[in-house]
Chain A
Amino acid sequence: MDQNVKLDEIKTKRQMTSDYIFRFIVPIVFIVLCGIGYNLSELQFTFVLNEVITRLARNSFLVISLIIPVIAGMGLNFGIVLGAIAGQIALVFVTDHSLGGLSGLLIAFLVSTPLAIVFGYLVGQVLNRAKGKEMITSMILGFFANGVYQLVFLVFAGTIIPFKTEKLIISTGMGVRNSVDLIGVRQALDNVWKIRPYQGLTVPMSTIIVVGLLCLTLTFFLRTKLGQEMRTVGQNMHIAEVSGINVDRTRITAIIISTVLAAWGQIIFLQNIGTLNTYGSHEQVGLFAVASLLIGGASVTKATYRQALLGTFLFHMLFIISPMAGQNLMGDSQIGEFFRVFVAYGVIGLALLLHAWQKRGKK
């Protein structure tokens, strides 16, 4: 009897250490990978740093928008594509009305918010009907929304929906052009406060501050009543229901918040890029954001903003160095490009696999 207890103790101890390593294994692997890649790529340190900071500033917001659904137990919300779509609609609206500068950008945020709330509500409704398979449903929902978006932008724009600026419409009078030059709002947020510590390094402080504010708000939000309710729902829907939480409504709220944040995130992303690829900018949003979050060490059930920031940093570091590393290693930069796509898909697949594995172990 005594021995059995001891054996159990040893087992749990081992379990704990392996859990501890497990928690950090993904970021560690990617830090090593980035280190090797950086050495191979022979790129200049300032160049890499500058690129990483720019990308970190423009992508973090989108990645952080994934955190709340994870906490509410809905897994990785591939449906942020709908948020990105809301953001893009707002940007096209702003460009069409030739609004510019910081005020134009603020109007874009304002326009995107109600759209994103409606979209988020719809996504939430659909996901509530597909409990337990939210991830695949939200992914397919993203593809579906992409189809509807293309229908609206290719056919209805210019015919049913009037446009003020003719330049935005294809010469046949139907459909928005493939790429929209966001002249008005280009780097409107980044330019508010930029610092140049030394040659070749530009830090968009204003964007970074916005991201920082979001992290603070998120931490604060999770301590509020609603945030705690989300946690409870995420841990066990049944217990939450019994203790008087409206589970369905809490889940919808979580998705709405995520979608609105994604809309803003996409606007921040595109104001930095400066051109909107009308039919492509939103497609990969879900994939890259989810991969970033997971590389930071998050799982399907646990995510923090620290993981989001670390993951974004590592993922984009890999993005920058892998073509050059591939070129120097194998004499072909294409390998590096394929490699990073593989990493994006592979890391998601692996995370889902580990999650399914652990879930099964618990049963």
Chain B
Amino acid sequence: MESFKNFVEKVGYPRLIIGGFLFILSIMAAMLSIPIPGLIGDILTRIGMNGILVLAMVPAIRAGVGLNFALPLGIVCGLIGALISIEFKLTGFTGLFITLIVAIPLAAIVGYFYGQMLNRMKGQEMTVGTYVGFSVVSAMCIFWLLAPFRSPELIWAVGGSGLRVTVSLESSIDKVLNSFLSFNFAGVQVPTGLLLFFGLCCLIVWFFGKTKSGVIMNAAGSNERFATATGINVNQQRILGVILSTILGAIGIIVYSQSFGFLQLYNAPLYSAMPAVAAILIGGASIKKVKISHVIIGTFLFQALLVVALPVLNILADGNMSEVIRMIVQNGIILYALTRKTGGDLA
């Protein structure tokens, strides 16, 4: 009994519950004879798609800012980058490259100002961050409507003003990473480039954590007073964390969109922080502590759950069900993290 308790303690309830749920659904999928290779391929793709957005939580948590609910800030920057590369009719890897080149500095600037703001209201980062994210997304709705883009790919063909609600990437960067070195193994389509890119990003963030500035940032996040006493400029480190998080958010949405095949504008990024937050919490992170392994485990569990749940529930129940399950799991996990005693004082 004692060892079982230790095991639960070590793995953590979120991982255990979601893992168990996934296990049951997988058995049901097998029993309903849903093609397994297709599911595995989907899971791989969705890990690569969503992984970097989840990874974006890491620098923010490490710098002591908590879960970055203002992820839409980065996402909006990424979308602007993609729009500009489409406007100039760039395709393939050049398109992707230019998108990143435009988006990253933009995200860094936005992150800098957002970090400045957060330093003035320590202890309330998550609540304020959520609404800063919401406000920016709704302000950008007006921007999308008035933005001076001319490419026929971007604006409505007849009638209507402003950018389209969803912009197809078919003629630009659609699946650039997914199809790079992609191969088929026993019926499983492996999106090699996508996974490699995700792995590379994880590696960079991991490596950054080992460098001197990474260690300093971590120290500033884990104990502000101690860090100040040792001569670390905590505010500066927090800004750095927010900048990195925003940049990863921008890269994340670009990778997501190229895999999805569409850019989603207007209200689409409104709740985009929630799945990322939920995924990293499922992975075992808390508001104060995070490891790269949490990102990978969390993204895998959450996305696998969604992928497997869709066909199973479609057969057993209604089509809307998987969306409902997503909502319950995602918000339930965030609630669990917020109500934990060890959750820290960040709100």
Contact = CB atoms under 8 A, between A and B. Distances in A.
Contacts of A150: 320, 324, 327
Which residue among B123, B131, B331, B341 has the maximum number of chain A CB atoms within 10 Å of its CB? Answer: B131
Interface in B83-141: 117, 120-124, 126-128, 130-132, 134-135, 137-139, 141
Contact of B161 (A154, A332, A346): A332
A334 interface: yes
A29 to B, nearest CB: 16
B130 A154 contact: no
B339 A348 contact: no
A136 B127 contact: yes
A147 B120 contact: no
Interface string A115-141: 000000000001001101111110111
B145 A151 contact: no
A208 B187 CA distance: 66
Contacts of B135: 342, 345-346, 349
A342 B347 contact: no
Contacts, number: 132
B317 interface: yes
A357 B331 contact: no
B139 A136 contact: no
A282 to B, nearest CB: 13
B324 A332 contact: no
Contacts of A143: 274, 327, 330-331
A147 B122 CA distance: 31
A274 to B, nearest CB: 25
Contacts of B30: none
Contacts of B188: none
Contact of A132 (B69, B142, B347): B347
B145 A332 contact: yes
Contacts of B128: 349, 352-353, 356
Contacts of B138: 338, 341-342, 344-346
Interface string B280-323: 00000000000000000000000000000000000001101100
Contacts of B338: 130, 133, 136-137, 140
A345 B134 contact: yes
Contacts of A126: 335, 339
A334 B145 contact: yes
Interface residues of A, number: 44
A160 to B, nearest CB: 12
A342 B120 CA distance: 23
Contacts of A147: 324, 327-328, 331-332
A11 interface: no
Contacts of A357: 120-121
B117 A353 contact: yes
A136 B138 CA distance: 19
Contact of B321 (A154, A344, A346, A355): A154
A342 B142 contact: yes
Contacts of A136: 69, 126-127, 130, 338, 347
A345 to B, nearest CB: 4
A348 B327 contact: no
Contacts of A151: 321, 324, 328
B334 interface: yes
Contacts of B170: none
Given A154-B318, A356-B128, A360-B122, A132 B345 contact: yes
B130 to A, nearest CB: 6
Interface string A138-168: 0111011011101100110000000000000
B346 interface: yes
Contact of A360 (B69, B120, B145): B120
A135 B347 contact: yes
B145 A349 contact: no
A135 to B, nearest CB: 5
B288 to A, nearest CB: 13
B347 A129 contact: no
A139 B130 contact: yes
A93 interface: no
A352 B131 contact: yes
A356 B141 contact: no
A229 B339 CA distance: 25
Contacts of B126: 133, 136
Contacts of B137: 345
A130 B339 contact: yes
A136 B120 CA distance: 19
A265 B49 CA distance: 42
A328 to B, nearest CB: 15
A137 B339 contact: yes
Contacts of A135: 127, 347
Nearest to A136: B127
B18 to A, nearest CB: 15
Contact of A356 (B121, B318, B320, B335): B121
Nearest to B287: A133
Contact of A359 (B124, B161, B332): B124
Contacts of A172: 318
B256 to A, nearest CB: 21
Interface of A: 126, 129-130, 132-137, 139-141, 143-144, 146-148, 150-151, 154-155, 172, 174-175, 330, 332, 334-335, 338-339, 341-342, 344-346, 348-349, 352-353, 355-357, 359-360
- Sorted from nearest, which 10 A-B pairs have the closest CB atoms? A133-B347, A356-B121, A147-B327, A349-B131, A144-B331, A356-B124, A147-B328, A129-B339, A342-B138, A345-B134
6 contacts: A130-B339, A143-B274, A147-B324, A335-B142, A342-B141, A346-B139
Given A335-B146, A359-B121, 6 more contacts: A133-B345, A136-B69, A140-B331, A140-B335, A144-B331, A349-B128
